[in-house]
Structure 1
């Protein structure tokens, strides 16, 4: 795998990755989808394809902490409804990674980040206009689940960027804060763990990447505790605006690199 090891990183590069790992922990227990900023940082410092493999175990560590924190609030019928479509998206994303080179993956990650920023803006505007959240038991609701599931599976496999997609779906389904966090925690833990064999088979996870993960995962824990403390105190609107801005900058940086 064309990757950088722990020993090849400069102090500033490691500090940036450590900050991105801390943000992963924070996003998993406070604002799901905020780790798109972490994705941009990892893809900017590491080779684009390799960055997805390095980031995956860090995301799983954050998922475990989120499950421990919000395990009582998960809504399993929603999860079972999503998983088949997500599996299709993961398989499509795996084929894409087999065929695409590093430049194409980098461009794709940048485009996905910009798409996710647009999705988030659209979600916020629609949330205020909708009198009643979309039901997930109707035919249109099932179609919505399948559409979001496939897109979420593809984006999470190619770029670990499924957070905004699933955030949009769960919010449109009417989830409150704790139910939202609990359901998304189990969703991403199961999906991310299922991606490990595919990533390893593609050579995106190896001994060098796991050594770097071992150093970075230590920063996920304080981020998760910070998120748990901030979840009832954070100004959600301001934070989402900052995340959108950072995501756009990260996406443009990857597209223009």
Structure 2
């Protein structure tokens, strides 16, 4: 890839819109980030798209932390660490043997299964008058399942956002607690992935130039997302997260 990617004007427009969606996903609608993953993978070579998107996600993480850093549920984050680390390791092994097509389809299936499980779990909890999955035995199983899948999907395709969105959604976090917990979770995970990405050649000088051109889109999207988050109702927020996650999962399956 040359230092400045030689792309058609329409491709640049798509990347700019995808960068804006990264910002929106970090400050308002986490599930929508799957659309950014799809656009980057369609416009850029698969390996280059992974590294480029990772750096933009980190920029978005900074804005999410500025907005919601005080609202995180640290007890939940600490309990997730063992499962997430295991998921990262499994994801690295999977990348060593799977091609791009298998990666996309496996993640798509996982996301659809998680949506179905989350909706079923929420309906069962409502019928029984019970709490979310963060209590009792279901809480432990939920952390192991969602945490390991979140680590796996974020390692193979930067697609851990929808998975963890379903976990935080199932835990019935209010909007700001949801966004604050997610902000710290992904800021830590994405920074930890940078050395691995550099060693694998996913981040290069051309990646840095591309991201410098797209960072303004992330910043604009972050402010738009902040405006949305301050006004969106809880029920609308939850439905938007589920809808965006499902849309991204379907795209990964058919692309």
**What SS class does the counterpart of residue 35 from structure 1 fall into?**
helix
Gapped runs of 5+ residues in structure 2?
none
Runs of 4+ in 1 over 4 A off after TM superposition: none
Q: Deviation string for 1:173-220 (max 9, x for gaps)? A: 231111111001000000010011111111111111111111111110
Kindly indicate whether the alpha-carbon contact (under 8 Å) linking 2:59 and 2:218 is maintained by their aligned counterparts in 1: yes
- CA 1:239–1:147 in structure 2 vs 1: closer, same or farther (change >3 Å)? closer
CA distance in 2, matches of 1:21, 1:193: 18
Q: Is the 8 A contact 2:175 2:229 kept in 1?
A: no
Q: Which runs of 5+ in 1 are unaligned?
A: none
Structure 1 residues 250 and 135, CA, compared in 2 at 3 Å: closer, same or farther?
closer
- Stretch deviating more after TM superposition (29-38 or 83-92): 83-92
CA RMSD of aligned residues (A): 2.2
The residue aligned with 2:251 is 250
Contact 2:104 2:252 in 1 (8 A): yes
5 Å matches for 1:23-38?
23-38=21-36
Alignment CA distance shift 1:28-1:201 (3 Å) = same
Q: Distance in 1 between matches of 2:196 and 2:139?
A: 30
Q: State the distance in 1 between where 2:83 and 2:136 align.
A: 17
Q: CA deviation at 1:243?
A: 2.1
Matched with 1:115 is 110
The answer on 1:127 being equivalent to 2:122 is: yes
Taking the aligned partners of 1:156 and 1:70, their CA distance within structure 2 comes to 21
In 1, the alpha carbon distance for the partners of 2:148 and 2:92 equals 13
What count of residue pairs does the alignment treat as equivalent?
249
Query: 2:198 aligns to what?
Result: 200
Do the aligned residues in 2 keep the contact of 1:109 with 1:158 (CA within 8 Å)? Answer: no
Q: Give, in whole Å, the separation in 2 of the partners of 1:231 and 1:66.
A: 11
Distance 1:144 1:118, change over 3 A: closer
The verdict on how the C-alpha distance between 1:114 and 1:144 changes in structure 2, with shifts beyond 3 A counting, is: closer
Flag the 1:244–1:170 CA change in 2: closer, same or farther, 3 A: closer
Secondary structure, counterpart of 1:243 in structure 2? helix
Instruction: Report what 1:186 is aligned to.
Output: 184
- Please tell me whether the aligned partners of residues 115 and 246 of structure 2 are also in contact (alpha carbons under 8 angstroms): no
- Rounded to whole Å, the distance in 1 between the matches of 2:243 and 2:77 is 29
Contact 2:31 2:245 in 1 (8 A): no
Question: Distance in 1 between the 2:124 and 2:3 partners?
Answer: 48
Question: What is the deviation of 1:229?
Answer: 0.5
Q: TM-score, normalised by structure 2?
A: 0.88
Aligned to 1:46: 44
CA contact (8 A) 1:29 1:181 kept: yes
Q: Distance in 1 between matches of 2:172 and 2:185?
A: 17
- Which of 121, 127, 136 aligns to 1:138? It is 136
- Closer, same or farther: CA 113–214 of 1 in aligned 2, 3 Å: farther
Q: Is the 8 A contact 1:117 1:247 kept in 2?
A: no
Q: Give deviations 1:135-164, integer Å, cap 9, x for gaps.
A: 535343223212211111010010111112
Match of 2:91 in 1: 93
